[in-house]
Structure 1
Amino acid sequence: VHAAGALVMADVSTLAEGVAAARLGADFVSTTLSGYVPGQPKRTGPDLDLVAALAAATVVPVVAEGRINTPEDAAEALARGAHSVVVGTAITAPTALTARFVTGITRR
């Protein structure tokens, strides 16, 4: 990939994977897979602890990705050392957006 002139972003689920990916030449590490890999606990929010751990343990930029649902989640990811934040479903999926509103309304 590097020989073709492109950068490499490694999607990881653990600190060990992120450290290994950086050591093997990844240009970025992303928390994309945290909470989605079999054998790991499912998460309802972003893995901000992993963001902080990766930022402290690697010299490559860390991308916070996965269940970033609010502006507060994004700001906290940046505060914990993320170089950047990927927001997906929270802003791109009409069904998920509608479900959040319905849940909020019915709780009241």
Structure 2
Amino acid sequence: MGIPKENLDTIKSVGNIIAVASKNNLSLLYKLDKTRNLGEFWSVLREVSRKIVGFDNKERARIKPTALDGLIQLVKTYEEQWKEIRDLLVVYSSMYYSIKSRKEGETNE
């Protein structure tokens, strides 16, 4: 059945948060990718949420923290499909991380 298309915006927003949080800690993205069960998944999201507190104003302006609430509700609704949600998060996080790294590389040249 899969995750409904209208929920992708929430997953994209959280993917962006994870990309920003992974800026100085790429292991966070790897941890998410390696989660084997729902408990590990929640643990990584908890770590991501704690990192938001340390974001500077520029980073905070680029994210939508309330998307985490939407993701929690999504996972609770589609608990049996948490791996699909995880996989989509990894894809979007990697994509946003790559885009941000590329932009920062261009501004440093």
Determine if the TM-score, normalized by the shorter chain, exceeds 0.5.
no
With normalisation by structure 2, the TM-score equals 0.30
Under a length normalisation based on structure 1, what TM-score does the superposition of the two structures give? 0.30
Query: Hey, which of these two has a bigger chunk of strand by percent?
Result: 1
